[in-house]
Amino acid sequence: MADAKQQGNGEALLRRLRRLTSRAGATETNDRAQQLALMDDIDGVRRELLHECARLDEEIKRAGVRVTAITAYARGARSVRGPRRDGH
């Protein structure tokens, strides 16, 4: 459930960024207040995306540790059983 929510959060952030980008394209060049508001919104989305990237990086590291542990466990289980007699 949390994975689906996190994936949805990343998708929502990307949609917000696209909306902000199109709003920025439609902004008048002399409308400083709107430009500042857009810059603030874009910076907020940027910070959230950086947070999401860090979370994903940590998740990938945890998955790597799990794979290493499972591989070590499997190797240990094979060595306890000994080699199979049918040649495999």
| pTM (predicted TM-score) | 0.66
Give the separation between CA 81 and CA 88, rounded to whole angstroms. Answer: 13
Note the pLDDT of residue 37.
Answer: 92
C-alpha closest to that of 3 among 55, 49, 66, 70: 55
Per-residue pLDDT of the chain (88 residues; tens, 9 = 90+): 455 566 678 889 889 989 998 888 888 888 899 999 999 999 999 999 999 999 999 999 999 999 999 999 998 888 877 666 665 5
